[in-house]
């Protein structure tokens, strides 16, 4: 992708900083197509599978089996590796070193309208909105997007105990998604109930989350 090492060297530091500050260990597994439960404390392995017959019965029925070492399943390893790279590069593509942060963030800090109805300004560094940004920026949503119920499953740790509570939760998440849509941070995927970050949204959210983990010394050094 780069004609010379100097071209890569000019953007490499912000890429590394973004990866270290914006992504967590569970995100890395999600880029690999895996989910990690919040209470998981065991050993993490990347046991990829391929649709093939048993090695002992090459003419037998096919099933999803562990990928073999060597060249036998190389084509499948290529598919998985490319998909993982695409998810990771999509997330890294939000790094922007040219637009001042104030200019980038300022536009979402003002109230706006959605279908002629007022929508509050976002508060990028408040606990509530930071949690929302982290939620929609999760690695498993990078490719297929997210649904209302996907966000509910993360926000609420226990099942709804009544139909009324279920509707209340759904309505709350709907308002959150509508707010992000009104500010142009997410968009609906056509003919689905899924939403995905816009490029604009990925840039802003990544910038906000990155600033949560950098020190004033790092900011001064970057600005020098």
Read off the pLDDT band of 98 (50, 70, 90).
low
Residue 18 contacts residue 92 (beta carbons within 8 Å): yes
In which domain, by residue range, is 191 found? Answer: 5-43+94-223
pTM of the model: 0.62
Tens of pLDDT, residues 15-48: 777 676 666 666 666 666 666 655 556 665 667 8
Tens of pLDDT, residues 127-152: 999 999 999 988 778 778 999 999 99
CB contact set of 67 (below 8 Å; sequence gap of 6+): 47, 48, 49, 50, 73, 76, 77
Whether 56 is in a domain gets the answer no
Whether 55 is in a domain gets the answer no
Whether 62 is in a domain gets the answer no
DSSP 3-state of 80:
helix
Whether 197 is in a domain gets the answer yes
What is the count of structural domains for the chain?
1
> Which among 24, 207, 186 is positioned nearest to 106, based on CA atoms?
207
Distances (CA, A) of 160 to 30, 63, 150, 154, 193: 26, 36, 14, 13, 21
Whether 115 is in a domain gets the answer yes
């Amino acid at each position: 992708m780069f004609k010379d090492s100097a071209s890569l060297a000019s953007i490499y530091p912000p890429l590394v900083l973004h990866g270290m500050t914006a992504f967590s260990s569970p995100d890395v597994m999600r880029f690999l197509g895996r989910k990690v439960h919040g209470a998981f404390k065991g050993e993490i392995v990347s046991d990829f599978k391929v649709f093939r017959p048993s090695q002992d019965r090459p003419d037998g029925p096919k099933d999803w089996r562990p990928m073999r070492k060597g060249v036998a399943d190389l084509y499948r390893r290529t598919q998985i590796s490319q998909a993982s790279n695409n998810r990771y590069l999509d997330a890294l593509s939000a790094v922007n070193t040219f637009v001042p942060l104030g200019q980038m963030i300022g536009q979402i800090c003002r109230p706006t309208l959605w279908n002629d109805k007022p929508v509050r300004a976002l508060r990028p560094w408040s606990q509530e909105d930071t949690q929302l940004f982290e939620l929609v920026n999760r690695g498993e949503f990078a490719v297929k997007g997210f649904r209302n119920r996907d966000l509910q499953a993360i926000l609420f740790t226990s099942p709804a105990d009544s139909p009324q509570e279920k509707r209340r939760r759904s309505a709350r998440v709907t308002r959150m998604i509508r707010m992000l849509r009104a500010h142009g941070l997410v968009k609906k995927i056509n003919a689905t109930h899924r939403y995905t970050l816009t490029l604009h949204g990925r840039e802003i959210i990544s910038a906000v989350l990155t600033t949560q983990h950098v020190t004033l010394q790092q900011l001064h050094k970057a600005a020098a």
